[in-house]
Structure 1
Amino acid sequence: MVDEGAGWLGVDLGTQSVRVLLVTADGTVLGSGSAPLTGRREGVRHEQDPLRWWAALCTASRTALGSAPPGLEVAGLAVCGTSGTVLLTDRSGRPVSPALMYDDGRAKAQAARAREAGLAVQDTWALPKALWLLGEYGGTSVRLAHQPDLIVSRLTGEPPPADASHALKTGYDVEGDRWPEAALSELGVPDDLLPGVVRPGTRLGEVCPAAADATGIPAGTPVFAGMTDGCAAQIASGALRPGSWNSVLGTTLVLKGAARDPVRDPTAVVYNHRAPDGTWLPGGASSVGAGALAARFPHADPAAMDAAARAFEPSSAIAYPLVSPGERFPFRAPEATAFVLGDPAGDADLWAALLQGVGFAERLCLDYLHHLGAPVDGPLTFTGGGARSPYWNQLRADILGRPARVPEQTEPALGMAVLAAYGASRAGALADVAERMVRVRAVLEPRPGRTAVFAEPYARLVGALRERGWLPGPVAAHALGPLSRDTSGS
């Protein structure tokens, strides 16, 4: 059982900051802390100094623990990081390379080699970047580390095994629980480069005295294997029962759900993490999102623009608001570019088109998941920066034609506190622990008749994507199938 009187620490190693939350078993946040991070961006290059992660953690953890009640037991912690961020270390865990961040694009050639070896990887995944790092910094005694591995090494005093969630993009077979040794050998990956792998929630060790002095986290605090930041956000949303989905709307759009079995996708735009209790967390990441609003209207007041957009339902224009060239989900089209069909009547109309376009893309993602046979009939949760807009939340619920929940707290650090609490008990389902610690702020119902209003523009967008050759015909047909029911107003 989870210790009801204890506190749980969640650590989120983000791109711009390290965030730490101290949370009780009923979801009360007792303390929070953050410290900024900086990196180096030049074209496709994006790297950080991994030693700065540790310095930031020391600052953030002391702040989070500073408001803890006297005598509170810190019963455990877990760490999440950005998916696909890797570096090389020596055998003692000291960095010997910079960290290549989740979106570093220098390993395109290595990714092509990996695909030729039979591995379904994308250009910015960790395995291609590991091959690139070997070419630049490799030696006879290097070891690959994912972002949390370095922090856990400093916390416990020894290099840990990786968690299967972060190892997924390094080529780890989460279904078979093994590294693909034949393919890795073909790629020239040394046998001792890759760490051992454990399931998320596994106890990795405890905070050593030196780390306790640096971070303020009590010596002896158990450290549990974490998950990627996207999975951490999903845990924080509570979307862990089969059929549940969490839609994370930030700069781009990410959908992550829960299923009893992996979701098979021959195009590999949907991939599956494995939860610590053995269930599956399928998902995909689109390139549409709120970043398109910032790009078109860099100085706008979002609340004022939302209010003006209410007069344009639906907009006279139809947008596919890609943030950057190329689409990854619900279809793979490296050549895809943003577009607007029609002539908006003004800024408010264009703002409305962009808001609605994200909602249409979100609907198409869910239609594609249904096309693959994924369970999509459970609760839907809205999180991310976009979920701070009440108007956009209601608009998305209307377009999707289904209710949506908005939690109070959706930080990945909360998800890691939940995972630490689960790891300490190892009893029942992760969803049971999450439902005790995640609080729902609001539940939105689609407004009567509003789904029908958006059916025709959604159909036009689907048709435009099909005509451009980006959206496969069977997927388009599946998406268009239910529209006769929507246009009836039901």
Structure 2
Amino acid sequence: MLKDEAGGERVWVGVDIGTQSVRVLAVTEDGDVAASGTAPLRGTRTPQGRHEQDPGAWWTALGAASRSAVAGLRPGRIAAVAVCGTSGSFLLTDDAGRPLTPAFMYDDARARDEAAEVQAAGARTWARLGYTMQPSWALPKLVWALRAGLPGAGGGAVRLAHQPDHLVSRLVGHRVATDSSHALKTGYSPADGGWPGAVLDLLGVPEQVLPDVVAPGTTLGRIGTAGAEHTGLPAGVPVVAGMTDGCAAQIAAGALEPGQWNSVLGTTLVLKGVTDDLLHDPSGAVYSHRHPDGGWLPGGASSVGAGAIADRFPGRDPRELDALAAARTGVPAPLYPLRGRGERFPFLRPDAEGFEAGTFADDAERHLAVLYGVAYVERLSLDHLRSLGARVEAVSLTGGGARSRLWTQIRADVLGMPVRLPEQSEPAFGMAVLAAARGSVRRSARAMVRTREAVDPRPDRLAAADEGYQRMLAELTGRGYLPPHLTPGAGREHDHRSRT
């Protein structure tokens, strides 16, 4: 299909406000990327675990990325826009939407004390929803901010705006509702369809600080004159409520049916899938978003990931390390490639630390151990989800780690099942699919999402990969990190991996 102005087919625009950049994609109804744009972002981090960004920089980057993407498109082609952001990132604004604080980012961990207080105050509510409040989540950080004496945060018309809320309000020219996906880590109950008023009262959080909540895909407004001038997007185009970046990547991968899972391997590892019923995880490591079409999107975010390569081999090209490691035929000793201290998924252990349970002959062998170590955590995550009653029938791989052919093959070997590589895997693509949904994101995904390649496990490597996994479980168990149902030999009735 033609992608130029003469073709005239409609496009849907997806926007991803990431940690390091803003990405904008314009996508046709059959999944072709007609245009794209990007602009960089920077933040401020401290050794105390704080991570802030300037909301004004988001707006500037959105304008630059959007203008780059739509410059060659006829305005009448653009049908709708959706925006995703990082989960748990927000700022406080006044009633007119002007920022009163910097943005508290998704991994800002300043609210450790407040997280314990929030967990205690809403223990029954959070248990019913199947998760545990964590310091990086938005509600503990909101409690911290309201108590911190920040300019304007102590009274008056103080409003919480999640990352996309703030930008969409500027696009359309008025305050907007948030979506249930971004609201989850602020304490919103997708099961009850509301904010937990009694818990908020105990915490001293006025409910008027929080936005109204709508389902993903709901029209929030239409691009106004100022938004159009800044971004190049035409005035009057609808902007629909998005989802968090992890859910957006899941949509991009087309993992939207029960039993389908998407594993995003970037700096860290994020796993999300689909279930008909809400999963209840007594450990609190799993949390679930609402599926836009009904059902649930459970998953979790580990602290292992591709960032472990840069941690261990600063300045080295991962492709060079892959080439060296590919010549090795054995499975190395277990290496738990935790980044920093503390694990969030598939088990919650704030005191967990990475380890090497053996020696490595050289960098190639150590690199191979990192690749296997992440794959073991990925399999452990799926085993944990199986133990809670989830089906695991198909796995797609996205994120930067999926660009490594060696790593993809190792992950298929360790999981013991084929893995699928989508043609497009960016969260911005997922937002374009959601913008085109018109009532069913599954339907739009079937038309727009394509598979680039499927990778099967190697039959001659399955036994060695399984042995390596069991050794990793034994090491984690010996350190007291694993709950009983994840220890070696436990829960085998949930193990339905195919063996080729």
Q: TM-score range by the shorter chain?
A: over 0.9
**Are 1:235 and 2:240 an aligned pair?**
no
The answer for the alignment partner of 2:23 in structure 1 is: 19
Deviation, 1:477, is 4.4
**1:449 match: secondary structure:** helix
**Are 1:471 and 2:482 an aligned pair?**
yes
For the 8 Å contact 1:315–1:344, the answer to whether it is kept is no
For the 8 Å contact 2:75–2:234, the answer to whether it is kept is no
Q: TM-score, structure 2 length as denominator?
A: 0.93
Q: Structure 1: 5+ residue runs without aligned partners?
A: none
CA distance in 2, matches of 1:484, 1:92: 53
The answer for the alignment partner of 2:356 in structure 1 is: 340
Deviation, 1:71, is 5.6
Deviation, 1:202, is 0.5
CA distance in 2, matches of 1:485, 1:240: 20
CA distance in 2, matches of 1:484, 1:72: 51
CA distance in 1, matches of 2:77, 2:319: 42
Indicate how the Cα distance of structure 1 residues 460 and 62 shifts in structure 2: closer, same or farther if over 3 A, else same. same
Alignment of 1:267-278 (within 5 A): 267-278=283-294
Deviation, 1:479, is 5.4
Q: Which moved more, 1:174-183 or 1:314-323?
A: 314-323
Q: Letter of the aligned partner of 1:130 in structure 2?
A: L
For the 8 Å contact 1:367–1:478, the answer to whether it is kept is no
**Are 1:367 and 2:383 an aligned pair?**
yes
For the 8 Å contact 1:287–1:322, the answer to whether it is kept is yes
Alignment of 1:11-50 (within 5 A): 11-43=15-47, 44-50=49-55
The answer for the alignment partner of 2:120 in structure 1 is: 116
**Are 1:106 and 2:110 an aligned pair?**
yes
For the 8 Å contact 1:251–1:323, the answer to whether it is kept is no
Q: Which moved more, 1:133-142 or 1:235-244?
A: 133-142
Name the Cα RMSD after superposition.
Answer: 1.8
**2:392 match: secondary structure:** coil
CA distance in 2, matches of 1:14, 1:366: 26
**Are 1:67 and 2:72 an aligned pair?**
yes
Deviation, 1:37, is 1.1
For the 8 Å contact 1:316–1:345, the answer to whether it is kept is no
Indicate how the Cα distance of structure 1 residues 414 and 489 shifts in structure 2: closer, same or farther if over 3 A, else same. closer
Q: TM-score, structure 1 length as denominator?
A: 0.95
The CA deviation string for residues 169-201 of structure 1, in whole angstroms up to 9 with x for no partner, is 000001110100000001011131111100110
For the 8 Å contact 1:87–1:133, the answer to whether it is kept is no
Indicate how the Cα distance of structure 1 residues 239 and 485 shifts in structure 2: closer, same or farther if over 3 A, else same. closer
CA distance in 1, matches of 2:347, 2:117: 22
Q: Letter of the aligned partner of 1:390 in structure 2?
A: R
**Are 1:395 and 2:414 an aligned pair?**
no
The CA deviation string for residues 22-65 of structure 1, in whole angstroms up to 9 with x for no partner, is 11111111111111111111121111111111111111111000
The answer for the alignment partner of 1:199 in structure 2 is: 215
CA distance in 2, matches of 1:165, 1:399: 31
The answer for the alignment partner of 1:132 in structure 2 is: 144
For the 8 Å contact 1:371–1:478, the answer to whether it is kept is no
The CA deviation string for residues 345-386 of structure 1, in whole angstroms up to 9 with x for no partner, is 211111111111111111111111111111212x21010110
For the 8 Å contact 2:386–2:495, the answer to whether it is kept is no
Alignment of 1:91-490 (within 5 A): 91-118=95-122, 119=126, 120-135=132-147, 136-137=149-150, 138=153, 139-377=155-393, 379-422=394-437, 425-426=438-439, 429-477=440-488, 481=492
Q: Letter of the aligned partner of 2:470 in structure 1?
A: A
Q: Structure 2: 5+ residue runs without aligned partners?
A: 1-7, 127-131
Instruction: Number of aligned residue pairs: give it.
Output: 480
Deviation, 1:484, is 11
For the 8 Å contact 2:474–2:488, the answer to whether it is kept is no
CA distance in 2, matches of 1:480, 1:451: 19
Deviation, 1:480, is 7.2
For the 8 Å contact 1:449–1:489, the answer to whether it is kept is no
Q: Letter of the aligned partner of 1:98 in structure 2?
A: P
Deviation, 1:408, is 1.7
Q: Which moved more, 1:290-299 or 1:178-187?
A: 290-299
**1:109 match: secondary structure:** helix
Q: Letter of the aligned partner of 1:470 in structure 2?
A: Y
Indicate how the Cα distance of structure 1 residues 71 and 299 shifts in structure 2: closer, same or farther if over 3 A, else same. closer
Indicate how the Cα distance of structure 1 residues 223 and 314 shifts in structure 2: closer, same or farther if over 3 A, else same. same
Indicate how the Cα distance of structure 1 residues 479 and 361 shifts in structure 2: closer, same or farther if over 3 A, else same. farther
**1:294 match: secondary structure:** helix
Deviation, 1:72, is 4.4
Indicate how the Cα distance of structure 1 residues 301 and 214 shifts in structure 2: closer, same or farther if over 3 A, else same. closer
Deviation, 1:435, is 2.1
Q: Letter of the aligned partner of 1:463 in structure 2?
A: A
